Amino acid sequence: MCTSKKLLHGLGNKNLSYKEQVVHCQFSVWYPIFKKHTIKSLILPLPQNVIDYLLDDGTLVVSGRYEWSDDETTTTVTAPEFPDFTSKVLEAINALGGRVFPKLNWSAPRDANWIALNSSLQCHSLSDIFLLFKSSDFITHDLTQPFLQCSDQDSPDPVINYELVLRKWSELIPGGEFRCFVKENKLIAISQRDYTQFYQHILKQEEQTCQAIQEFFSQHIQYNFLDEDFVFDVYRDSQGRVWLIDLNPFGEVTDSLLFTWEELTSGGEISQQQECPAFRYTTSEVTVQPSPCLSYRIPRDFVDLSTGEDAYKLIDFLKLKSEQEESDEEESSPQ
């Protein structure tokens, strides 16, 4: 029988993962091993010219041609074209049903959903993917500093072949996602993935959820991965079936959510539990917290102005702009 430890979120401070562990957690490494137990996906090599475009700090233009003018000049910006890569991506998207969830070797652009239509990571085209990727710090981290928090910094960085991962779009309810921590091939802890929200069904189905995840781990994951210390994310659907979503290194590079890395690595109470893993989740509305991804968003007023969603803000902005121009004209006129 599973008993839960219901505590608040804590932060870890230990660099425990190694570069080899990070390499093993690339999607293209673990997907062939667990293909039967996860969402159908396709993997495409990422050309160097696409990588260069994603890292370019210039104007964000993902498709077509744009022009804007001031009093003296007209500027034209045309999005770069990648015809061969575009064709392969569209073919893959169509093969996956026309809607996909994109990511790179490790990360998805979860911090950039604010810029997408309906704040969704669902993509139908390469331009949709580019918009998310070029707006994401998580993607930039993958491309520039994937080994930043590894403990073996003195060793040379492994060569990485970057890939675009397209996953068949699935409507996953955040309350069904859980993060699982494995140490020495033993499942020691489970955390609610979306810890900022309270989900009553987790409270009601605590024992069933914990048992289902344990059985999934022992039957399909345990001893099958390349490392004995790792973190994996799962989704438990409405029928009670558990699906593998992702694998991550066991260390600070991975968010410990409702645990701390000190707890997970100290050999204390959590590691010593024999019967079942510690299971933590948000237990009431009182402990609900803001989403950590909110810090990546731009101000709501700016979004309203740029999209025209709030007509009154737009009118006020135009009035202010007109008043400023009139003031400038008065100051520049001869006295």
The reply to whether 179 and 164 lie within a common domain is no
* 23 found inside a domain: no
Q: Decide: helix, strand or coil at residue 294.
A: helix
What is the Cα–Cα distance from 184 to 277, expressed in whole angstroms?
Answer: 13
The C-alpha atoms of residue 242 and residue 264 are separated, in whole angstroms, by 23
Q: Note whether residue 260 is domain-resident.
A: yes
Q: Which of 151, 168, 185 finishes a domain? A: 168
Q: Are 9 and 246 in contact (CB under 8 A)?
A: no
Q: Is residue 72 part of a domain?
A: no
Residue 7, pLDDT score: 39
Could you read off the pLDDT of 236-257 as tens digits, one per residue? 999 999 999 999 999 988 999 9
| Contact by Cβ (8 Å): 278, 189 | yes
Cα distance between residue 143 and residue 109, in whole Å: 12
Q: Number of C-alpha atoms within 13 angstroms, CB side, residue 268?
A: 10
CA distances from 135 to 114, 125, 236, 328 (A): 9, 16, 30, 35
The predicted structure's pLDDT at residue 14: 47
CA distance 153 to 251: 14
Distance in angstroms (rounded) separating the CA atoms of residues 102 and 169: 9
Question: Does residue 162 form part of some domain?
Answer: yes
Q: What pLDDT is attached to residue 214?
A: 97
164, 178: one domain = no
Q: Is residue 230 part of a domain?
A: yes
* Final residue before a domain boundary, out of 255, 280, 305: 280
> Is 334 within the bounds of a domain?
no
Do 216 and 103 lie in a common domain?
no
Q: Is residue 293 part of a domain?
A: no
User: What pLDDT was estimated at residue 292?
Assistant: 56
| Same domain for 211 and 137 | no
Tell me what pLDDT residue 24 has: 97
Q: Which domain holds residue 264?
A: 174-280
How many domains are contained in the chain? 2
Listed in sequence order, the residues at least 6 apart from 84 whose beta carbon sits closer than 8 Å to its beta carbon are: none
The β-bridge partners of 247 are 232
DSSP 271-282: HH--SS-EEE--
Q: Are residues 187 and 253 located together in one domain of the fold?
A: yes
Residues 57, 155, single domain; the answer is: yes
**Which is nearest to 252 in space by CA: 1, 5, 56, 15?**
15
CATH code assigned at 251: 3.30.470
- Domain end: 254, 280, 306, which one? 280
pTM, full prediction: 0.78
Answer yes or no: do 200 and 134 share one domain: no
Find out whether 121 and 101 touch, Cβ atoms under 8 Å. yes
Residue ranges of the chain with per-residue pLDDT less than 70: 1-16, 58-72, 74-77, 271-274, 286-335
Same domain (yes/no): 54, 154: yes
d(CA 55, CA 63): 16
Query: DSSP letters along 99-118, please?
Result: -EEEE-SS---GGGGGGSGG
pLDDT digits (tens, 9 = 90+) for 26-70: 999 999 999 999 999 999 999 999 999 999 886 566 565 655 556
123 occurs within a structural domain: yes
Residues 158 and 265 in one domain: no
pLDDT, residue 80, reads 81
